[in-house]
A and B are shown apart, each in its own frame.
Chain A
Amino acid sequence: MPGILYKAAAIVGAAEADEIGFLAEPITSLELHIQAIRNVCGQTGIPISQIDGVFSAGWSTELCEHLGIQPKYIDTTAVGGCSFEMHVHHALAAIHAGIIEVALISHGENGHSARKIGGGGSNYARGAGVQSPAVEMTSAYGLASAPSHYAHAMVRHMHRYGLAREDYAHIAKVTRDWATLNPRAAMFSKEKHPFGGPITVAQVESSRLIAWPLTILHCCMVTDHGGAVLVTSPRVAASVRTRPVWIAGAGESMDHGNMLEMPDFTRTSAARSATAAYTMAGMGPDDMEMAMIYDSFTITAAITAEMLGLARPGEGHRLWKDGHAAPGGRLPINTNGGGLSFTHSGMYGMPLLIEAYRQLSRTAEDGVHGIAGKQTSARTCVVNGTGGSLSTTGTLVLVAED
């Protein structure tokens, strides 16, 4: 049954910055944005001047100014790594409402280069002066990095379902297998990166501890990445040279900002955002032929697979452990190599979108973005971004052109 907004709007193109990953020469976040925007406009044939809606995680005024455009719809939602899935949700609504026809969603984040030249991805600031009481009551304990927080969720999830850390290590191993099919992946090969190429579960388990139980191979990388997608009306979609991928369903939700307020460390708001997306699409988890799941950490992927209804609670990891998520499996997941092994600049929602577009538009193996075996036969894909400390979620159900 086609959903209520089926064919209301499509992703018609998706592109990256010229070079992504661990760039040798430092690059700014703005430059990563601009390269990706130029590339997606070149790919689709849509001129920058035709963009009438701009969506980014805090950058929209600077981008519009830089591009010299005056859009009719400006959205700068910045809620962490899932901002970009939410941008698609918002673009769908704006296009369906007839306000705009060409939405640009853009990402640039020099997570790696920032160590040399400063910068970062989310160009928004919290209020100055007295800080929030949540920060006041947690800042004494020295935790400020993502793994320091997520490790607590992993321990609770392990406890609740009687799992061992090794169960989650399969996620890192299988995701690396996907990366070895993607020459753009930071961990594609030993030649590309000293720690690249295939890995074993034993290697994941014995790698350096970051925040027990998370070893470094249970954690995503911090790289440079720029990416852009164009979402358009059906009318524009019919006029471009690229293939449309239809946004059949979209949803977003949140539980908390600070992990202190997370009600249940084994569940995220993806349960709600996915329900909204599936309902809009008139489809369910059993209709999904692949998934792109934010894997900031192995635990993030495991919990999210459960929230998306792809596995029963406590069994998310089995999709990887039993090989279903792997190349050739029945439900390919994170076919670009994931935040764990492809790229992850700090906010990973954009690479999820780009890979979902490539898979469903049958361009996942075009010589630049993949080699034999990377292109799946999937015609439907559920995409889920997670932001903050398992805080915010955006879910999309995408469907290939008939």
Chain B
Amino acid sequence: MAYDKPIPVRGTHTEPFWDGARAGRLMLPRCCDCNRVHWYPRHLCPHCHSERIEWIEASGEGTVYSFAVQYGAFGGWSKAVPFVSAYIDLKEGDRMLTVLRGVDPAAPETIRIGAPVRVEFEPADDQTHIPFWRVVED
């Protein structure tokens, strides 16, 4: 079945992220001057304002910072409710929004803040593979 969820409009400076995603790799921007990772991609480092930014391949590991169970949503997601959205603290630093996999939306009390997660990618079209995060065993 064709991918029926929203597909992001690609920006002008995020190609390394989407190229990486297509190859199953999580790419993150890191500042060459202060060495800190940031997310989302910037034109300058939000920590030290350097414009020297490189892309690194991340571990694809993180933990659940917070989550919610969505009973209404937009686009194709409206047919997928309820689903669990979550913010993921990345191992390399900073945070990413996702739809969380490997959890039961009907039992939010079983979802644990701090639970370890791993990234996976789902092809939306030839160019765009969307990152999702899945709860994994400790």
Contacts and interface: CB of A to CB of B under 8 A. Distances in A.
B113 A159 contact: yes
B45 to A, nearest CB: 14
Contacts of B71: 209-212
Contacts of B52: none
Contacts of A137: 8, 14, 39-41, 96-97
Interface in B79-102: 80, 82-83, 85-87, 95-99
A140 interface: yes
A156 B66 CA distance: 6
Contacts of A154: 68
A130 B66 contact: no
B122 to A, nearest CB: 10
B42 interface: yes
A152 B69 contact: no
B123 interface: no
Interface in B38-79: 39-42, 65-78
B130 interface: yes
Contacts of A144: 73-74
A134 interface: yes
B42 A133 contact: yes
A93 B82 CA distance: 48
Given A148-B85, A152-B67, A156-B113, A210 B72 contact: yes
Contact of B69 (A131, A139, A211, A259): A211
Nearest to A137: B40
A140 B8 contact: yes
Contacts of A152: 66-68, 85-87
A141 B72 contact: no
> Interface size class for chain B?
35 or more
A154 B8 CA distance: 27
Contact of A130 (B12, B69, B72, B86): B12
A145 interface: yes
A132 B39 CA distance: 13
B39 A211 contact: no
A142 interface: yes
A201 interface: no
A136 B40 contact: yes
A23 interface: no
B67 A136 contact: no
A143 interface: yes
A142 B74 contact: yes
Contacts of A153: 66
20 contacts: A130-B11, A133-B11, A137-B40, A137-B97, A139-B9, A140-B5, A140-B6, A141-B77, A141-B98, A142-B70, A143-B70, A144-B73, A148-B85, A152-B86, A159-B66, A210-B71, A211-B68, A211-B70, A260-B96, A265-B66
- A-B pairs with lowest CB-CB distance, top 10: A142-B77, A151-B68, A212-B69, A142-B73, A156-B66, A137-B40, A152-B66, A133-B40, A159-B113, A138-B97
Given A134-B40, A151-B68, A155-B67, 5 more contacts: A141-B99, A142-B75, A142-B99, A148-B73, A260-B39
